[in-house]
Amino acid sequence: MLIQRLLKTDNLYLGNGRVIQNGMLAIDDQNRIAEVGLDLIAEGVKVEYFEGALCPGFVNTHCHLELSHLKAKVSQKTGIHNFIVELQKVRNASDEEKLVAIENANYEMKVAGIVAVGDISNGDSTLKMKLDSSIYYHTFVELFGFRTHLADSIMEQGRQLKASFVEVGLKSTVVPHSPYSVSEKLFEWIAQEKENSPICIHNQESKAENDMFESGNGKLVEMMENFGNDMSGFRKTGKTALKSYLARLPEKGPLLLVHNTFTSSQDIDKAQLTHSNLYWCFCPKANLYIEGKLPNIPQFIEKGVKCTLGTDSLASNDTLSIWEEIQTIQRAFPEISMETLIKWGTLNGAEFLGIEKELGSFEHGKRAEINWIKGEELISL
């Protein structure tokens, strides 16, 4: 092993919640982290100084690459029920248009210093790009279906799509879209699926989601009826959405709850007792785009839970940048430290995806995926 580069910066964010002032990285000839510390030296290697800060490559735990062609085509701040309805109306496009948008989105994330992505898929349009990309992808095959009699066929289609990714060496699991769009039977099938970890689900993205389970009515119930679903058999629980469905999912294995815009302190407590390996994902720019509201993020820090960051899709965001998501949170909640936010955007995401031995932090032997924070700008090295 030969040291090829020595990097020094004012603030070296390790990704694990720590920062080293005037920290240094030694990079070997395999582009691996050889050493982290202060005043590192290597014969014949000149120190490269980066004003500002360095941090590990980002992990985007929630994205919808398939929707990349819908940038600026869906109205803002209309609520999730209107967003979904409008999305369905404008979703169609030629295969060529979709593929170009997917490839451009992948490039955009690479430039934005993203090295791994948890991507939601309803088809195989992203498969070829993922095979060719330098970014690590885990594909979450997302299932919809509120009609019980269709649960078997929907699950079989999901298994086949999952297999199409796995057979070419890509990681993939089958996941539910949301508590309001998946039947109890389909939840059962997903929970029973073998070799199906990690999983994720959209959680409490709107007030209407809680209304549906607490009272049995509201805007999401109306939306589901308008899509042709018979809601007469739906049984309200008198509890919030999260308290109503979480026990239907496997208790072991990483589970990512995405958005959490209308999650309460009591919801967090109950969820942490119900599931042993929970992660909470925030996509703040998408929350502002759709609902015009951010989650109460500080309450998650108070509870000491594991958090990650995502971008959602270009249908609900103008960029795919974890750095911009971090900046959005900092503007709204300046009391949250940069060390914490970078950990959410790096190591926590890598742990959820099961790639923490390779990515997510600056540690000996890990890949040297490095981002340079220069003022407000981020540069992928």
Q: Which domains does the chain have, with CATH numbers?
A: 1-56+362-381 (2.30.40.10), 58-359 (3.20.20.140)
- Residue 328 phi, psi dihedral angles, 5° rounding: -65, -45
Alpha carbon of residue 152 to chain centroid: 28
State the pLDDT confidence band at 228, using cuts at 50, 70 and 90.
Answer: confident
Direct distance between the N- and C-terminal alpha carbons of the chain, in angstroms, rounded to an integer: 21
Whether 231 has a pLDDT exceeding 80, the answer reads: no
Average pLDDT in the chain:
95
Condensed to tens digits (0 to 9), the pLDDT of residues 149-173 reads: 999 999 999 999 999 999 999 999 9
For residues 45-69, give the mean pLDDT: 97
Phi then psi dihedrals of residue 372, to 5 deg: -105, 120
Q: Give mean pLDDT, residues 65-92.
A: 87
Please give the share of the chain, as a percent, with pLDDT higher than 70: 100
**Percent of the chain's residues with pLDDT above 90:** 85
Rounded CA separation 347/370 (Å): 13
Name which of 76-90, 202-216, 272-286, 320-334 the model is least confident about. 76-90
Q: pLDDT at position 209, please? A: 93
Which pLDDT belongs to residue 271?
Answer: 97
For the chain, helix (H) and strand (E) counts, in that order, are 14, 15
Q: Return the higher-pLDDT residue of 95 and 142.
A: 142
Q: What is the DSSP letter of 367?
A: B
Mean pLDDT of 119-139: 97
Strand ordering across the sheet containing 114-121: 58-63, 114-121, 136-143, 171-176
126 contacts 139 by C-beta, under 8 angstroms: yes
Q: Is the pLDDT of residue 232 over 80?
A: no
